[in-house]
Amino acid sequence: GAVVSQHPSRVICKSGTSVKIECRSLDFQATTMFWYRQFPKQSLMLMATSNEGSKATYEQGVEKDKFLINHASLTLSTLTVTSAHPEDSSFYICSARGSPGRGGEVTQYFGPGTRLLVL
């Protein structure tokens, strides 16, 4: 159980275009999803937290107008990189978590990641 998928696994796009990445929880309802960015040989950096049906909460320094997050259902969150530029090239990873609270789920399960290359 607790499987999270991401699509696409790899994408190459031209500078100035927008790219959408999907994150799906396949066998559980994800009340909260997280989006991370990982540079080569570095740790994960949290970009934003999204709760189903509400606006995402962005970490300091992350441009919300550039990285649009939509969490429209309990199984799907999307990250759209708008007007992508070469510096946006990175590995993007999502994670999902079920209902929180004592006795509830706190563990985050991760998707396989999306490698974005902006030319």
Partner 1 sequence: AQTVTQSQPEMSVQEAETVTLSCTYDTSESDYYLFWYKQPPSRQMILVIRQEAYKQQNATENRFSVNFQKAAKSFSLKISDSQLGDAAMYFCAPLQGGSEKLVFGKGMKLTVNP
91 binds partner 1 (CB under 8 A): yes
Residue among 43, 54, 65, 103 that touches partner 1 (CB under 8 A): 43
Residue among 44, 62, 74, 76 that touches partner 1 (CB under 8 A): 44
| Location of structure tokens 């490698």 | 115
Return the range that interacts with partner 1 (CB under 8 A); candidates 10-18, 22-30, 72-80, 88-96. 88-96
Three-state SS at 86: helix
89 binds partner 1 (CB under 8 A): no
Return the range that interacts with partner 1 (CB under 8 A); candidates 21-29, 66-74, 75-83, 106-114. 106-114
Residue 94 · residue 34 · CB < 8 Å: yes
Q: Which two tokens stand for residue 3?
A: 């499987």
The set of residues, in sequence order, having a beta carbon less than 8 Å from that of 102 and lying 6+ positions away, is none
* Cα separation, 12 vs 4, whole angstroms: 22
Q: Which two tokens stand for residue 74?
A: 């309990």
Which residue ranges make up the site for partner 1 (CB under 8 A)?
Answer: 32, 34, 38, 42-44, 46, 49, 91, 93, 95, 97, 100, 106-110, 112-113
